[in-house]
A and B are shown apart, each in its own frame.
Chain A
Amino acid sequence: MALTGLEIFKLLPKTNCKKCGMPTCLAFAMQLAQKRAKLDSCPDVSEEAKNTLAAAAAPPMRKVVFGSGDHQVQIGQETVMFRHEEKFYSPTVLAATISDKLTGPDLQNRIKAINALRFERVGVRIGAGAIAVINDSGQADAFAAAAETAAQSSPFALILVSDSPQAMAAAVAKTAKFVPLIANATNDNAQEMAKIAKENKCPIVAKADSLESLCGLTEKIKSLGIEDIVLNLQTETLRDKLYNLSRMRVLSLKKVFRPLGYPTISFVAGDADQQAAAAVGLACKYSGVVALDTVEQYVFLPIATAVMNIFTDPQKPVQVEPKIYTVGEPDENSPVLFTTNFSLTYYTVESDVEASRVPSYILVVDTEGTSVLTAYSGDKLNEKIVADAMTKCNVQDLVKHRKLIIPGYVAVMSGKLEEATNWEVMVGPRESSMLPKYLKEVWK
């Protein structure tokens, strides 16, 4: 938790020496509290004060990075419980598991299936972000071999899952340059696992079956010189898991309880549908990594979309690029509709036009990401803006006719728009859901 100016003042030398450039130590403390000054400016500050201030300045939930290069992923550093309070920073990393019992073509096929868990959505790549190799075999050699193959044949960040320090050492020896996430350190093997993590500069997962024991474990790992820790709380039920994840989030963010100030990882089990359901819950409610034991695309697509949606910045309206979009394969006789570049508006219109099965052009007008009515009342949508957008997109060259379908909510701009464009304005429905009927019956 950030310290107040007065709390900082108590830690300063109180000499009012002015060497920092401020008239008094109190003034300097106030500047520090507002992050307008750096502690380095004070030549006489004690080591103790430096440490206290550095600890207080650390984020309540640590950021942990694993994977290398383009495959690197980041979890943690969250600041709020609810996305509307600010935003969620690090989208949940989805992982697919792979057993080290698989060899040869089976191993390759599983990796291939995992590599196909990538989708493109509004120009953004979503899907799996990590591949979790599980030491089911209990053998160090098999684990190391599977880990190496996975690291080399998959574009995803690597998670190594074994409770055996021998197996972990063997696998990390083959994959250290990929910066794998080492899972799991437990109360029994913490010393050895921490050594592997430290020597290879990898983050580590702390696994325990109660919050109390988890806290003890993270403190122990920290004392061994490792700060990049991910929490794995084992619970009997999904209910316990979700309740505890919420509790851990409150403890780290609201109470700044350092032993739990790390991101989390969860493994889900069950049939594919159950895993999908659990994963959506875990992604929304505070698991930094969710590892699934399935490689079904129909499972990953909705979960990845949920992560994308929940982790969007609520302060920024999501916009689509203002341009001409086509639905189906429109020709010179197809209808032209316009709407705004607020993504929600556009996607609703797009999906309804698609449902009509009438090939169409949708002109997206730049209204700074506002909806039709908001844009109109804020003068971000008027006849001039629409006419300019039509010219810019060369709408006149796309179709032979000169008819423009406008949103029913801005019927009032018809006259001026006709004057500005010399196109015939057709007033569409107010509700986008009536577009299929409109396109089929009114537009012909």
Chain B
Amino acid sequence: MSQIAIIDYGMGNIRSVQKACEYLGHTALLVHEPNALAEADHVILPGVGAFADAMAQLRQSGFDVALRQYVCSGKPLLGICLGMQLFFESSTEGSLINGIQTGLGFFPGLVSRFPANLNVKIPHIGWNEVQTSPSKLFAGLPPKFFTYFVHAYQVSNTELPSTIGITHHGKPFVSAVEQGNVMATQFHPEKSGSVGLKILENFLCLNAEDFTARAKGKLGTSKTGGVPLC
């Protein structure tokens, strides 16, 4: 029986993610200890809240190290909303040092607030369209679909090679990424109706054998000190 671990690090309502997994016929555990990741076959990092607080929580609990080890095991990892943002190198949210907060660094680039001059409402809340590129996460879905978003910070660099979803809110931003066994959505699949459930199902059906060593090797960023992640 596949073990699904949802990381509970005190950031936001994560029961919905668990209930969605259960609805799909899987048992998902809320885990509070980094050691639990070693036993898991699927890990989900959800989260609503501020980047700096979340990173502090992950570091303090040791989940940051455990997540890197988990990623290197080649097993699938899904980030949702703030979870996706934490996969990036850095964010301008909750700045303490030099205006930048360091993230987990699975993907290169910066998370920043939607610019104020876009003439759109911020936070970006509601249903919006995702334009996708071929991916494992979106397998079997149409090239464009609607999902539910709640966020004020975003990844601007849609040229990023791991981008698999782009959404427009005053300007284009990255709404989903996938690189080997690490994937993430800015939207909430657990609140995106049948489309969202299909995405979660796709994720839960993946396993380590679905990813090549080459894909794994591509992870990591310039800021990890020139040392490959794995």
Whether chain B is bound by chain A comes out as no
Could you list which residues of chain B lie within 8 angstroms of chain A, going by C-beta atoms? none
